[in-house]
């Protein structure tokens, strides 16, 4: 078994970002939202699902919100069981398979007549992706020492950006130039993209699984592991209640995650519906965000070493708040709106990976040094984020149902970023978090 801090173990762990980030980019941000809008946007965007008529954006927002709610309910229980039994890797493998297979099933989503396929497997893929991330993040304090964790976390996000851009570039070549591949069906390039995401995710994840230990603490669970798992969950919850700095970080993380994750999920929809941007404009912006994000994750991991995690996080939060106000001021009748959208994308790219990698590593550094319940601890980190997303997507659904626009919602998000900044200001320096 590879030892903690071993370069091969760290690289193997970080490579799961390379494997799974194609889901975030292609399915969460780029190809699928654009594809979904293109085939459901006719007839004023009215679609029928579960016997009820919805705005296409509203039902999509609620579907994602529902998937995050499921993850929020399941992950603490499953993580506690995984910690008690020492089976983190088995759980991670299961959810990786669930997510990647569900993504591939989106190939059969061809139009409004089978929108249930798009909605159901969007939910299943989201559950698989986000649940696997809980166990993946929980490995961070087991593969890297505290002084390594900022850089290791940033390495994962950087690999994710690089891998996802490579696959997206291939997918876009099909979507934008289908004739080069002899494709005549207008829906086929996007649907093939969904297949490639699932294959890429599942295939490259095997490298990570071959290096991660399954039971690093050599636990020997008793038969009633479900009951013992619940008891493990209660123990960790009580421990968190006594740790003021961890609670402050989680409260701040909840507030700014409402903004970060909903912007990631709805940015393409905002560009299409509110700003009237062409698909090519959105693709350029998305690629720009990913490429700048590589630099941002690297720069802020080094900056945090110099000025501390708390100050570095506060800088990223302020930049997000400013970006929300900037997005609200954009108008579709502005002849240079696409250039301003590019600039905004580059601005956000600088802090997109940074805020995520610093959040993950800062939380990891605050965990008790003698704990073995890393998955359970990280499940609370994940639940905080998922409840924030459910909250954010619910607000988005309500706002769009009344205004059929996301502009007001984007401005509301700036308030949450400012609130997150204020709460984070109450954090004090500790042994590893400065």
Examine residue 284 and state whether it is found in any structural domain, yes or no.
yes
Residue 291 scores a pLDDT above 70: yes
What CA–CA distances, in Å, run from 362 to 74, 141, 246, 311, 350?
24, 11, 9, 11, 19
The pLDDT confidence band at residue 316, using thresholds 50, 70 and 90, is very high
* Predicted confidence (pLDDT) per residue in 76-96, tens digit: 888 877 777 777 889 899 999
Question: What local confidence, expressed as pLDDT, does residue 137 receive?
Answer: 86
Question: What local confidence, expressed as pLDDT, does residue 230 receive?
Answer: 63
* CA dist., res. 427 & res. 434, Å (int): 10
Residue 400 scores a pLDDT above 90: no
* Residue range(s) defining the domain that contains residue 264: 7-211+221-424
Highest mean pLDDT, choosing among 8-17, 360-369, 384-393: 8-17
Examine residue 374 and state whether it is found in any structural domain, yes or no.
yes
Comparing 16-20, 26-30, 184-188, 414-418, the range with the smallest average pLDDT is 26-30
Residue 44 scores a pLDDT above 80: no
Residue 236 scores a pLDDT above 80: no
Question: What local confidence, expressed as pLDDT, does residue 218 receive?
Answer: 57
Residue 374 scores a pLDDT above 80: no
* CA dist., res. 338 & res. 285, Å (int): 9
* Predicted confidence (pLDDT) per residue in 28-39, tens digit: 877 888 888 888
Residue 371 scores a pLDDT above 70: no
Residue 378 scores a pLDDT above 90: no
Q: For residue 148, which of 315, 14, 21 has the smallest C-alpha distance?
A: 14
Whichever domain contains 320, its CATH number is: 1.20.1250.20
Examine residue 371 and state whether it is found in any structural domain, yes or no.
yes
Q: Model's pTM, two decimal places?
A: 0.80
The share of the chain scoring above pLDDT 70, in percent, equals: 93
Examine residue 429 and state whether it is found in any structural domain, yes or no.
no
Question: What local confidence, expressed as pLDDT, does residue 233 receive?
Answer: 67
Examine residue 434 and state whether it is found in any structural domain, yes or no.
no
Examine residue 430 and state whether it is found in any structural domain, yes or no.
no
Examine residue 48 and state whether it is found in any structural domain, yes or no.
yes
The share of the chain scoring above pLDDT 90, in percent, equals: 27
Token readout for 98 is: 């669930």
How many helices (H) and strands (E) the chain has is answered by 15, 2
Q: Where are the alpha helices (DSSP H) in 31-145?
A: 31-40, 56-85, 88-105, 115-138, 140-143
Examine residue 431 and state whether it is found in any structural domain, yes or no.
no
Domain count, the chain: 1
Question: What local confidence, expressed as pLDDT, does residue 190 receive?
Answer: 92
* CA dist., res. 410 & res. 312, Å (int): 23
The burial of 361, by beta-carbon neighbours within 10 Å (0-12 exposed, 13-18 middle, 19 or more buried), is given as buried
């Amino acid at each position: 078994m590879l030892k903690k801090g071993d370069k091969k173990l760290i690289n193997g762990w970080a490579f799961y970002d390379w494997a799974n980030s194609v889901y975030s980019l292609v399915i969460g941000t780029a190809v699928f939202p654009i594809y979904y809008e293109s085939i459901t946007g006719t007839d004023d965007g009215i679609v029928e699902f579960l016997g009820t008529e919805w705005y296409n954006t509203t039902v999509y927002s609620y579907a994602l919100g529902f998937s995050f709610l499921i993850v929020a309910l399941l992950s603490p229980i499953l993580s506690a069981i995984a910690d008690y039994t020492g089976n983190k890797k088995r759980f991670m493998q299961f959810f990786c398979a669930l997510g990647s297979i569900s993504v591939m099933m989106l190939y059969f989503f061809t139009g409004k007549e089978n929108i249930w396929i798009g909605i159901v497997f969007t939910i299943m893929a989201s559950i698989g992706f986000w649940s696997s991330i809980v166990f993946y993040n929980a490995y961070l304090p087991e593969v890297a020492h505290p002084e390594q964790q900022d850089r290791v976390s940033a390495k994962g996000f950087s690999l994710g950006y690089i891998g996802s851009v490579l696959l997206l570039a291939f997918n876009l070549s099909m979507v934008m130039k289908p004739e080069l591949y002899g494709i005549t069906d207008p829906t086929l390039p996007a649907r093939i993209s969904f297949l490639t995401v699932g294959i890429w995710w599942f295939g490259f994840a095997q490298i990570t699984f071959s290096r991660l230990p399954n039971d690093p603490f050599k636990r020997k669970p008793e038969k009633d592991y479900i009951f013992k798992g619940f008891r493990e969950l209660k123990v960790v919850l009580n421990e968190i209640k006594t740790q003021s700095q961890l609670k402050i970080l989680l409260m701040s993380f909840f507030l700014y995650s409402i903004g970060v994750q909903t912007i990631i999920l709805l940015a393409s929809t905002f560009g299409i519906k509110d700003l009237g941007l062409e698909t090519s404009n959105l693709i350029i912006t998305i690629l720009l965000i990913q490429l700048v994000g590589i630099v941002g994750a690297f720069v802020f991991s080094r900056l945090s070493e110099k000025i501390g995690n708390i100050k570095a996080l506060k800088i990223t939060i302020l930049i997000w708040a400013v970006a929300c106000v900037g997005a609200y001021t954009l108008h579709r009748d502005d002849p240079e709106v696409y250039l301003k959208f590019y600039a905004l994308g580059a601005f956000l790219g600088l802090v997109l990976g940074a805020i995520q990698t610093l959040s993950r590593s800062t939380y990891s550094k605050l965990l008790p040094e003698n704990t073995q319940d890393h998955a359970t601890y990280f499940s609370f980190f994940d639940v905080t984020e998922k409840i924030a997303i459910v909250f954010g997507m619910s607000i988005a659904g309500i706002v769009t149902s009344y205004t059929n626009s996301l502009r007001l919602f984007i401005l509301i998000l700036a308030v949450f970023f400012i609130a997150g900044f204020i709460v984070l200001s109450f954090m004090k320096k500790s042994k590893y978090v400065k």
